[in-house]
Structures are given as structure tokens and as C-alpha cells.
Amino acid sequence: MADIKLTLVVACALVDTDKRVLIAQRPEGKALAGLWEFPGGKLEPGERPEETLIRELHEEIGITVKEACLAPLTFASHGYDSFHLLMPLYICRRWEGDVIAREGQKLAWVRANKLRDYPMPPADIPLIPHLIDLLI
Ligand code: 9L3
Ligand code: MG
């Protein structure tokens, strides 16, 4: 089998006190524009997944998260033509600061059993049942 590029991305289910989950719409001009995703992004060289998530959550939605408040929940995996995406999903219920769309993206707080109403990238869709089991 030919070598295939493995891309590591980390994502977070941010859960509020009403058990709603934050999703963000990918902006125009980016890959998968218009689809709704659990916030996160690619690991930079040398980063641990938790460090990536803390950085991305601050960059994208302005919040400060302590590493102890990030708990791993499951993994997503999806094979594209030119790379394989592996994406751990963390859950976070405590953070500091207000959630704000720092990149102009649309944000939505959604109950886990309504997440299927939002078109998502293929890697994110199989994560929904895990969130339903946990939160509904
Ligand atoms: N991706 C999929 N679901 C997510 C995230 C955060 C990312 N919840 C995919 C989209 C891109 C790749 O991972 O193919 C890298 O994401 P970005 O760096 O373009 O945000
Ligand atoms: Mg991102």
C-alpha cells in the first residue's frame, strides 16, 4: 500500500450548563466552507493535542481553557483521497471568558440530538452519537 499522509487535527465539544454544544461554521475561502464543525485545528510541529486545543480555542472563540478542564472523549477518523485525518475529540465544560466569533464565523449552541440538522464535515458526523450518549 502506498504511504498515505496522516494529518492530526484536534477538536473540542464545548458544553454549556444547559448541555448544549458549540459548533462553528467554516468560513468562505477555507476547505469545507459552510459546514459546521466542532472547533479546533491542526497540530503545529511539537505541540501536544491539548496545547493545540488551548491555542485554537483562544484564537477562534476567545476563551481561555485550562488543560485540566479538557477530557478526551473519542477519536474521529476519515480517509480523504490524499490524506488520512485523525481527530481526537475532547470535551470541555469549564472555561474563562465569553465565547466570541474572533474569525467572523457563525457560532451555534445546539443540543446533541439536534446536531444532525447542521451539515458537518465527514469526520465530525460519527462523533454525534457519542455526544448524544453523553449528554441526552
Ligand atoms: N476538520 C474537520 N472537523 C473539525 C476540524 C476542527 C477540522 N472539527 C478538518 C477540516 C480540514 C482539516 O481538518 O480538512 C484542518 O482543519 P483547518 O486547519 O482547516 O481548520
Ligand atoms: Mg480551525
Domain parsing of the chain, residue ranges? 5-135
Distance separating alpha carbons of residues 65 and 67, to the nearest angstrom = 6
Query: What mean pLDDT comes out for the span 104-115?
Result: 98
Distance separating alpha carbons of residues 115 and 107, to the nearest angstrom = 13
Q: Whose CA is nearest to atom 11 of ligand 1?
A: 31
**Which residues are part of a known binding site for 8-oxo-dGTP?**
26, 37-40
Q: Write down the pLDDT at residue 122.
A: 97
Distance separating alpha carbons of residues 37 and 111, to the nearest angstrom = 14
Q: How confident is the model at residue 126 (pLDDT cuts 50, 70, 90)?
A: very high
Q: Write down the pLDDT at residue 1.
A: 60
Q: Nearest ligand, CA of residue 57?
A: 2
Return the CATH number of the domain spanning residue range 5-135: 3.90.79.10
CB 88 within 8 A of CB 75: yes
Give me the interface pTM, i.e. the ipTM.
0.96
Contacts of 6 (CB under 8 A, 6+ apart): 83, 84, 86
pLDDT in tens, 70-99: 999 999 999 999 999 999 999 999 999 999
pLDDT in tens, 34-48: 999 999 999 999 999
pLDDT in tens, 13-69: 999 999 999 999 999 998 999 999 999 999 999 999 999 999 999 999 999 999 999
3 has a pLDDT exceeding 90: no
Q: Nearest ligand, CA of residue 115?
A: 1
